[in-house]
Structure 1
Amino acid sequence: MQDAPTQILRTQHLPARIAAQFARQIQQGALKPGDRLPTENAMSRSFGVSRTVIREAIAQLRNEGMIETRQGVGAFVIDRPTRHIRLDDRADSDGHAFRDLFQLRVPLEIEAAGLAAAGHGPEHLRQMDAALARMRVTDDSAHDGILADLEFHRIIAAATGNDYFVQFLGAVSDRILQTIVRSRERIRLEEIVAIVEREHTAVRDAIAARDPVRARAAMRAHMAGSAERIALRVEFYL
């Protein structure tokens, strides 16, 4: 029986802290492969946070490869390699931290796009298309587009066939999520959705065409645009 969740301080980055609690329970064996996490409503009440916060925490755990979500059923702990990566989540979300993030993320994402172009399967394309459809939403459920953006990059990492890409990108998924949220705060929703859809579609189409060079170039352009949207100047050497 896993420990009861504890209330989360409002000064903390809520999704990351909630994800960290469940990650510890999974790592320590309190939650085992096949176990179902509590419902969003139950977690929202237990932690004293909104369901939006819970969804972001679940998205982070999914991107770290610790759980899978089944439509209409719930979130379940899955088997994963014994070795995995979890970063210290105390880093501030300031310009310096974002710069450090992009210095790691840029080469990883560009190489992942190239490898995905060479090795993806039909299911990866189907999942990318589903994530793109969710990203296009501009109504009251538009927040789901943020999580879909994160999911799109996780799918590319999985399409490489190399679990290290999934693990490394999963380890920084919380920071990536913060940059997506920051960009949406700076730019009108309809405008940012159109820009992001265009950039992600270019990456998807290059991967679908099995063109690693074009896929790498499209991802590089997306990384440059992502940095620019949070007023970050990043030097590219790739």
Structure 2
Amino acid sequence: MSQSPTPISRTQHLPARIAGQFARQIQQGELKPGDRLPTENAMSKNFGVSRTVIREAIAQLRNEGMIETRQGVGAFVIDRPTRHIRLDDGAQMEGHDFRDLFQLRVPLEIEAAGLAATYHRPDHLRQMDEALVRMSATGENAEDGILADLDFHRTIAAATGNDYFVQFLGAVSDRILQTIVTSRERIRLDEIVAVVNREHVALRDAIAARDPTRARAAMRAHMAGSAARIALRLEFYS
């Protein structure tokens, strides 16, 4: 890295602000394809935040298609497509922000589920299964369940075969993370893990069955459940 990290304001959503700093360095060419990011431990010390915050920032960058993570090795900058969508305010979300988010997510993710049921490959199912295992954790690895949830949805977007779905989902990945965190603050962990996993298993099975209608219905039910868990009632018109 060519410069020291900028101090992070505690009034801002920390993972988004950290991801934003690295994103700017990537966009400005200070970090180039193939460059390795500092370790989680180093970033935690440099930014003065927990490793959980760093993992969420890395997950956001990964879902935005800016980096890839290699198990036991680290996170590396990757080549990005010329078209790229990024939201860069990093603000903490309030009630109307959640509603605005779901108004975008509902049509986007329902359509993605239907397309994923048609076009998915075996490796997409494997990635969903791996995410489901991680989402089931309620012990010391429970925090990873939040990132696994995001990975599950990104895999569905990738399974469409349409990069626009991946990019749009990546652009709101920080907001989705905030939604998951907020729901876990409202509901006892073991209860929310059980219900969310049921919804995700229904999605996975519908996609695996190559049934677009069933997959779309499962995603619609999941979107309604996700909204309800943060006290938001969705309106469907069809």
TM-score normalized with structure 1 length: 0.98
- Aligned partners of 2:124, 2:89: CA distance in 1, in Å? 29
Does residue 234 (structure 1) correspond to residue 234 (structure 2)? The answer is: yes
CA deviations on 1:97-154 (whole Å, 9 max, x unpaired) are: 0000000010000000000000000100000000000000010110100010011000
- Aligned partners of 1:189, 1:73: CA distance in 2, in Å? 30
Q: Equivalent residues in 2 for 1:1-238 (5 A)?
A: 1-238=1-238
CA deviations on 1:151-170 (whole Å, 9 max, x unpaired) are: 10000001111110000000
- Aligned partners of 1:19, 1:159: CA distance in 2, in Å? 25
SS in 1 for 2:139: coil
Q: Cα gap change, 1:171/1:4 in structure 2, threshold over 3 Å: closer, same or farther?
A: same
- Aligned partners of 1:184, 1:70: CA distance in 2, in Å? 28
- Aligned partners of 1:210, 1:230: CA distance in 2, in Å? 31
- Aligned partners of 2:137, 2:127: CA distance in 1, in Å? 16
Structure 1: tracts of 5 or more residues without a match: none
Q: How far off is 1:90 after superposition?
A: 4.6
Q: How far off is 1:2 after superposition?
A: 2.7
Q: How far off is 1:88 after superposition?
A: 3.5
SS in 1 for 2:5: coil
State whether residues 15 and 57 of structure 1, in contact with CA within 8 Å, keep that contact through their aligned partners in structure 2. Answer: yes
- Aligned partners of 2:36, 2:158: CA distance in 1, in Å? 23
TM-score normalized with structure 2 length: 0.98
CA deviations on 1:162-208 (whole Å, 9 max, x unpaired) are: 11000000000000000101111111111100001000000000000
Q: Which amino acid aligns with 1:101?
A: L
Question: Relative to structure 2, which stretch is displaced further, 91-100 or 176-185?
Answer: 91-100
SS in 2 for 1:6: coil
State whether residues 64 and 171 of structure 1, in contact with CA within 8 Å, keep that contact through their aligned partners in structure 2. Answer: yes
- Aligned partners of 1:90, 1:166: CA distance in 2, in Å? 20
SS in 1 for 2:196: helix
Q: Which amino acid aligns with 2:171?
A: A
CA deviations on 1:181-237 (whole Å, 9 max, x unpaired) are: 111111111110000100000000000001111000000000000000000011112
SS in 1 for 2:69: strand
Q: Which amino acid aligns with 2:152?
A: F
SS in 2 for 1:128: helix
CA deviations on 1:69-102 (whole Å, 9 max, x unpaired) are: 0000000111110111111325441110000000
Q: Which amino acid aligns with 2:174?
A: D
- CA RMSD between the two structures: 0.9
State whether residues 91 and 97 of structure 1, in contact with CA within 8 Å, keep that contact through their aligned partners in structure 2. Answer: no
Identical-residue share of aligned pairs (%): 84
